[in-house]
Amino acid sequence: MTKKTTSKTADTADNTIHGIAPYKEKAREKYMNPKQMEHFRSILVAWKQNLLEEVSRTIHLMQDENINHPDPNDRASQETDMSLELRNRDRERKLLKKIDQTITRVDSDDYGWCDRCGIEIGIRRLEARPTAELCVDCKTLNEIKERQMI
């Protein structure tokens, strides 16, 4: 089985985010204006499409590689590869759900603001993590609390 690379948020070769160029803010531009909302909606839709293509490739791969190897080591390797692939697809399934929820937030003009404190999350943070619901400060506090609970 060949090792595949998963799609990343930022493509370092051409500096795009799922094929979308980073947003160029203009001076005194209102935060989360319609142009910015459309930019993030495009990123989310492109990301979702990439994940759905990965799911489709996995289905075809599993159908094509459904070979019963006589050698126990080959069979074990195939089962391990399939298990890892299915685990990755399960994570992506959860991510697809989160992307859909985020697209709904964009469509309802409730995107880009911290769920906890209500301040701007920020264009660059949202480009790095389009499904972010917390600003950097609130997310940092969350992570500190989680570490203390362990």
The pLDDT assigned to 94 comes to: 95
Q: What secondary structure does DSSP assign to the chain, as a single string? A: ----PPP-SEETTTTEETTBPPP-PPTTPPTT-HHHHHHHHHHHHHHHHHHHHHHHHHHHHHHHT----SSHHHHHHHHHHHHHHHHHHHHHHHHHHHHHHHHHHHHTT--SB-TTT--B--HHHHHH-TT--S-HHHHHHHHHHHHHH-
With a cut of 80, say whether residue 39 has pLDDT above it.
Answer: yes
The pLDDT assigned to 110 comes to: 94
pLDDT confidence band for 1 (50 / 70 / 90): very low
The pLDDT assigned to 66 comes to: 64
Which residue has better confidence, 111 or 10?
111
Instruction: Please count the other Cβ atoms lying within 10 Å of the Cβ belonging to residue 108.
Output: 8
Fold of 31-111: Four Helix Bundle (Hemerythrin (Met), subunit A) (1.20.120)
pLDDT confidence band for 65 (50 / 70 / 90): low
Which is nearest to 101 in space by CA: 50, 52, 139, 48? 48
The pLDDT assigned to 67 comes to: 67
pLDDT (tens digit per residue) in 44-55: 999 999 999 988
Query: Where do the structural domains in the chain lie, given as residue ranges?
Result: 31-111, 112-150
Which residue is it, tokens 């930022």? 10
